[in-house]
Amino acid sequence: MSFLTGFLVHLPSVLAGMLLIHQILPGNQPSRLVFKLGLGAGLGLGATSLLYFILLLITNSLSGYIFIPITLLGIGLYLTWHNRIQNPIFPTIYSLTKLQKYLLAAFCLLVLTSLGSFMIHALMNSHGGFDAWMIYNRIARFFYRGGINWQNAFSQDIYWQFHADYPLLLPLNLAGAWQTLGTENMRAAQAHGAYIFIGLVSLLIGAVAILRTTGQSLLASIVLLGTPIYVYESPREAADLTLAFFILATVACLIIYHREQNANFLFLAGLASSFGAWTKNEGLLFALISAAACFFLLNKNRRLPKILFYITGLLPLILVLYFKYFLAPSNDLFSSQADLLARITDSQRYITIFQEFIDHFVWFGRSNISIPIILLGYMLILKSHLSSKDSPAVVICAILLTTQFLGYFSIYILTPHNLDWHLRTSLARLIMHLYPAALLLYFASLSDPEPVFTK
């Protein structure tokens, strides 16, 4: 029963996101509907969390959470009904080739095994993983149990390891769900993770199908589902999967914007990157870098005024910055900068971090086979088949992800904590942030499987 209520409490946010995005991005081709289904799940949850934060600041009360997604859903349903003729929501009929049917069957098999793994992980860890007790669920408890004293969650007395400065997307959605259900239902946090995971897979399938073919999109999703760390992380109630979702959403919207020149994609890219900043501190870095990427992309197309759409999407960042400056305690990484110069000039740190990056990249995914190495081999065999139309956006987004990666590298150089401990406890999750977006770029650049099997 707690599983059911945990899923139901977030459902209005997810449905509202899907329906509202359907109004912003018309089209009922299956690939577009899958893309909007994925994008809507994350953006709906992100919007609910941010609006709840505004409500909390205004009323200083935790009540009223559920009215936010219900109102958004009402608006979404009204607009969908009102525009049903010019913007139908039911998909057009689409037949699959033999290869696509085989890939779909493989995809379904992986969905089933992932679902099984998710359920077992969820049952074994009802309170989630280490980060959940330490950060997200703990902050949610400070809110839910603290009532009008919710700001105690940011007490200066809280030990740095509890990361009281982390943004609030996840804790607020969880505290709001508990407030709605009247109990600390831990399944609500796992349901949040499940919706984000479903959104991540749908977003990747939809984006690759829009940019390439159905076969290519199914192959991309098979690779994502075949990377067990994502199934492992989704019921662990941490925010890394959510940030991975928003990074993928930003990159997908930027590339599809470049292809179709529909400025609404820019707005959604801005929104996704600001929700990323509302999810984790690393998201703030990503919002900054993706704004620069958007600028370069538009400048190259001589469409710089369109950046206003992106900036409009970035408006939630004002709330994130308000939180960081007025509520959150200082970040542990930047509060102690003694010996900074010694760390920057220590060449051994660079070597250690580089070796760990290579090792974690090769063995990324919690699997006993190296999927990244197989993908590299696959790329050498299939060769790049990037259309000239997409190449500027794909290249700029590749630079965006590389810069984010270098940002992570710099954090390890600067960290005042024990380097081995810091690498061991965080590096795999940092790679996890970027991997789905990297898969999108990879499959958007590679030859499609269909022609290979029809020769």
Partner 1 sequence: MPIRYRLKQFFTALIVLLCAYASINNFIGTFESGEVDFDHVANWENRFTPIKDLLPIQRGTLGYIADWDIPGADFDPSDQDAEYILTQYALSPFVLVRGENHEWIVGSLTPNTYKQWVEIRTGQYEDVKLKGNAYLFHRIK
| Helical ranges in 280-418 per DSSP H | 281-300, 307-313, 317-322, 332-335, 340-344, 347-362, 371-382, 391-414
- Under DSSP, is residue 384 helix (H, G, I), strand (E, B) or coil? strand
d(CA 112, CA 118): 10
Nearer to partner 1, 222 or 294 (CB): 222
Smallest separation, CB 153 to partner 1 (Å): 7
**Residue 437: how many other CB atoms lie within 10 Å:** 28
Q: Is 1 helix (H, G, I), strand (E, B) or coil?
A: coil
Query: Does 91 contact partner 1 by CB under 8 A?
Result: no
Q: What is the DSSP letter of 129?
A: S
Residues 217-246 contacting partner 1, CB under 8 A: 219, 222-223, 225-228, 231-232
> Which residues inside 92-111 make contact with partner 1, applying CB under 8 A?
103, 106, 109-110
- Build a one-symbol-per-residue string for 125-164: x at contacts with partner 1 by CB under 8 A, - elsewhere: xxx--x--xx--xx--xx--xx--x--xx-x-xxx-xx--
| Closest approach of partner 1 to the CB of residue 200, in Å | 15
Among 253, 152, 212, residue whose Cα is nearest residue 387: 212
User: Is 237 or 240 the residue whose CB approaches partner 1 more closely?
Assistant: 237
In the bound complex, what is the minimum distance in angstroms from residue 369's beta carbon to partner 1?
A: 6
- Cβ proximity to partner 1: between 81 and 130 the closer is 130
The strand pairing partners of 384, in sequence order, are: 446
Smallest separation (angstroms) from partner 1 to the CB of 378: 5
Name the one range near partner 1 by CB under 8 A: 82-90, 286-294, 351-359, 368-376: 368-376
> What gap in Å lies between CA 49 and CA 42, rounded to an integer?
11
Distance, CA of 215 to CA of 63 (rounded, Å): 46
Give the Cα-Cα-Cα angle 185, 228, 217 (nearest 5 degrees): 105
To partner 1, the closest distance from the beta carbon of 115 in angstroms equals: 9
Phi, psi of 384 (to 5 degrees): -70, 145
Chain contacts with partner 1 (rule: CB under 8 A): 103, 106, 109-110, 113-114, 116-117, 120-121, 123-127, 130, 133-134, 137-138, 141-142, 145-146, 149, 152-153, 155, 157-159, 161-162, 219, 222-223, 225-228, 231-232, 365-369, 371, 374-375, 377-378, 381-382, 447, 449, 452-453, 455
